[in-house]
Structure 1
């Protein structure tokens, strides 16, 4: 994982808090602001899906409009938006994501071992 992810998303959170007059860590954040940060993840995922549709030319009216690089770029936006939103639900986003990644790795290892048994 990029070493820049958490410092940069922390800066984004700080900038959003400042711009919107909120404080994510003192429960002064309106539910609306939290919802907007969560919905941003969905918006970015939709843009990734649209880029994939454009890459595969699945819209006959538009044809091929995007590249694999465009899809990758949109997926990065999803990751960033999710990391920013994660700050709304925990004061330790790196630890929460790390634990989730380790759990996924353990499940993968267990599944692979079961397949070879």
Structure 2
């Protein structure tokens, strides 16, 4: 019996958005990053991972487990929240491209309504 092994690697993406929610004075806000695309078949565990070695801002890698290798793709959409300081742009990196994404801002006064709508979606 042959064992198929998966590979942890960058995954392709088509679209990325970023929204920073201001949570109050002297309180770190929440950066919500959403990515969608088409990954190779048999890809699981797609996640957004902060690159700790990137200098000059914030870089998010689109990572997942792919294998066994096959033809065809499957669509996916993933969201992750990062706590921290505001950056006007972030870098999103996948296997097919690296993209600079403008970060939309949600003021503190609108944070509760925005987060409730996000949870309902």
- The interval holding the TM-score normalised by the smaller chain is under 0.3
Give the TM-score of the pair, scaled to structure 1. Answer: 0.21
